[in-house]
Amino acid sequence: MNKFCGDCATLLDVQEHQNYCFACNKGFKKLNSQQKVVQEKVYVHQTAAEFLHQEARPLIDEECPKCGHGRAYYTTQQMRSADEGQTVFFECVKCGYKYKTNT
């Protein structure tokens, strides 16, 4: 049975009288075979490329005029004078069709 450090979750070096963690420089008393692991640490690994490919644009329930799909990414921008409404740009999630509306 593998034994792991309770502080940093590093695999312990099994020695005769104790288990030793090289990362923390600590020795741990050996557990008898009756004891069980009651806590598990899970580390999520994500590469920079995976992180950058995640979609960060906001979504809205908007029907695409081309394919009829009900979800679209959107952005807003003030295209006209300040006393007029903004322009909302949409991009269909399914087909990528881009369209806009003035509000």
Contact in structure between 100 and 85 (CB atoms under 8 Å): no
Domain boundaries, the chain: 1-43, 59-102
CATH architecture of 59-102: Single Sheet (2.20)
Is 21 annotated as ligand-binding? no
Domain covering 1-43, topology: Ubiquitin Ligase Nedd4; Chain: W; (2.20.70)
Place of tokens 């004078």: 81
Is 67 annotated as ligand-binding? yes
Q: What is the mean pLDDT of residues 40-50?
A: 73
Mean pLDDT (the chain) is 81
Is 5 annotated as ligand-binding? yes
d(CA 83, CA 101) in angstroms, rounded, equals 17
Q: What is the mean pLDDT of residues 35-39?
A: 60
Give 21-65 as a 3 state SS string: ECCCCEEEECCCCCCCCCCCCCCCCCCHHHHHCCCCCCEEECCCC
Q: Letter for the amino acid at 14?
A: V
Does residue 3 carry a pLDDT above 70? Answer: yes
Contact in structure between 12 and 28 (CB atoms under 8 Å): yes
